Structure 1
Amino acid sequence: MQQILDDIAAEMAQEIDRGKVADYIPQLAHVDPNQFGIAVATPDGQLYSAGDADTLFSIQSISKVFTLTIGLGTLGNALWTHVGREPSGDPFNSIMMLEHESGRPRNPFINAGAIAVVDAIMMGHEPKETLAEILQFVHFIADDDSIRFDHKVAASEMAHKDRNASLAHFMKSFGRLKHEVDKVLGVYFHQCSIAMNCEQLARAGLFLVSNGVNQHTNARVISSQRSRRINSLMMMCGHYDGSGEFAYQVGLPGKSGVGGGILTIAPGKGSIAVWSPGLDHIGNSKLGLKALERLVEKTGWSVFSD
């Protein structure tokens, strides 16, 4: 595995077309696009990494996997009254589908859906309490108490919040949000600003590798049934309107973020985190997708393999 990752990192270092960093969040626009990291954590506690795997980056929408897990653990199937489970086929910040479906977001991984999940897990609490719960959960699944919010990124997102605020206000007009829009958005932007490196992120995904249990720490995070369902949603919806292409090219459940990270789950095999800040036209890491395609070719880890 170490040789595979070293080879992939060397190959990615030679790539010329690295995509474009997310410039609509000013704090992300300054990130050097010439970086690439990859890490694989296995259920038996092994960790392999290559490239810039110890460099912190903003996980952005990958955090939606974690808040969805919290939401299912707290509300159970009642969470699905707030958000749907269908692929959107639209960009991550689209408002069109909301209008057609009475303000109920298609799935938890588009921005509107993640905002609805945040509103649901707040349960009348103040933003600071909800943020403490989210960060505590990330510490628990990653087995790492050093993980923090990047407050500069959160402030940058709040200063350029208009598109997400419009989604939230639109949902609230249909009675879909119970809390004040600015409070919900404050939690949402901080959740997206969590800073992790590939090694930490790979460890954080381990509970989805083994039916809800992090075998390395022997901690059950969520039921096996909900773990399978989170993985299925990652496969169908984890890359917005590029989810079908990701399933075609990689064949694993995954969740991307506009910070350039992708968390990918090979059930029973390992948790994979890859990061390269340059994005494709959809908003997914350009080299991340290519690297994961190479990894699956070399390991046969696709869920569609024999």
Structure 2
Amino acid sequence: MFCQSSDELNELVIEAKKCVKHGKVADYIPELGKANPNELSIAIYYPNGNCISAGDIERKITLQSISKVISLALVLMDRGTDYVFKHVGMEPTGDPFNSIARLEMMDVAKPLNPMINAGALSVTHMIQGEDVKERLQRLLTLIQTMTNNFEINYNENVAQSEFDTAYLNRSLAYFLKQHRIIDEDIEQLLDLYTKQCAIEMNCLDLARIGLVFAMDGIDPDNGKHILPADVARICKTFMVTCGMYNASGEFAIKIGIPAKSGVSGGIMGAVPGKFGIGIFGPSLDQKGNSIAGIKLLELLSKNYRLSMF
């Protein structure tokens, strides 16, 4: 039987919080560096609409790399699998999420997967629309539909902070342009990508996105497909193999659920057929994952046998 009450969940949050002192916030993005490293919150969203939570689940967080899963879903629906995977690979990597080294070593400079930054930039490049505003709105509309929250938007301060400091992502994008994976203006692409990463929501919204993936793309309120089942399956597979940066293998062994993290401290989890999880804990480990968030998921997985393996 899974965790039945917020009180029970709060006890696990208190236990997981003990490790926040071993991490640090993502201060290389100035706006994210303002976060309180001691925070930890979680929402768990069930198909029947029930939710249990602990911590300040109303606090807004930016998606950062969690957005990579949703932009992938959008371009898969737009362009189809053959087109998308002609430009980005399907293989996990042991390299850091922002590494350029592997691109240089490959015969064809195609990013290994959509969850590393080079792959995510390639995916964002594929979002259809006349300009940045239209392309961003298409992504926002999908996110608003998945959360059933049509107030969701992006945080302008975080987006600007990321745009101003996106030196490595610019390098990746120019490298990809040199090798014809990307063929648009790089500043335009970075404008879209940083706004994508700065899309903002709370843990309950994040958990509902996880639930849509967990239910193979189905809206829990009306039973209709927001995402085709095969798109949801592909996204969940990438979450398992690549979703937690270069700690994904260890995460799969210790916790064993599809999940995607972001350097804001967010984690979105999808327990197949059961529920969605939204976590915020801005103190990060060396791989860029929420250190207390991972500990909390470890405790949940161990106590309630969540692993799909």
Structure-1-length-normalised TM-score: 0.96
Indicate which of 123, 126, 132 corresponds to 1:127. Answer: 132
1:289 Cα deviation from its structure 2 partner: 0.3
Q: Deviations over 1:201-249 (max 9, x none)?
A: 0012222111221223323022222212211110000011111111111
Match of 1:199 in 2: 204
User: Is the 1:39–1:47 Cα contact (8 Å) retained in structure 2?
Assistant: yes
Which of 64, 70, 74 is the equivalent residue of 1:66? 70
CA distance in 1, matches of 2:298, 2:97: 23
Deviation at 1:13, TM superposition (A): 4.0
1:259 aligns with 264
Cα deviations across residues 246-275 of structure 1 (Å, max 9, x unaligned)? 111111111000000111110011111111
User: Is 2:17 the partner of 1:10?
Assistant: no
CA distance in 1, matches of 2:20, 2:152: 32
Give 1:18 deviation, angstroms. 4.6
Q: Is the 8 A contact 1:18 1:33 kept in 2?
A: no
| Deviations 1:139-188, CA, capped at 9 Å, x for gaps | 00000012110010010011111100000000000011121111111111
* Alignment pair present for 1:46 and 2:42: no
1:96 match: 101
Question: Structure 1 residue 4: deviation in Å?
Answer: 3.2
Query: Is 1:107 matched up with 2:113?
Result: yes
Match of 2:40 in 1: 36
Unaligned runs of 5+ in 1: none
Aligned length: 303
What do the CA deviations read for 1:104-151 (whole angstroms, capped 9, x no partner)?
A: 11111111111000111135x211110111111110000001211001
**TM-score (norm. length: structure 2):** 0.95
CA deviations 1:255-301 (Å, max 9, x no partner) are: 00000011111001111111100000011100010000111122222
Name 1:177's counterpart in structure 2.
Answer: 182
Query: In percent, how many aligned pairs have the same letter?
Result: 39
- Provide the C-alpha distance between the structure 2 equivalents of 1:182 and 1:27, rounded to a whole number of angstroms: 20
Match of 1:136 among 141, 148, 172: 141
Match of 1:231 in 2: 236
Equivalent-residue separation in structure 2 for 1:27 and 1:129 (angstroms): 25
- Which deviates the most, 65-74 or 13-22? 13-22
Q: Of residues 261, 268, 276 in structure 2, which corresponds to 1:271?
A: 276
Q: Aligned partner of 2:33: which letter?
A: A
Give the CA RMSD over aligned residues.
1.3
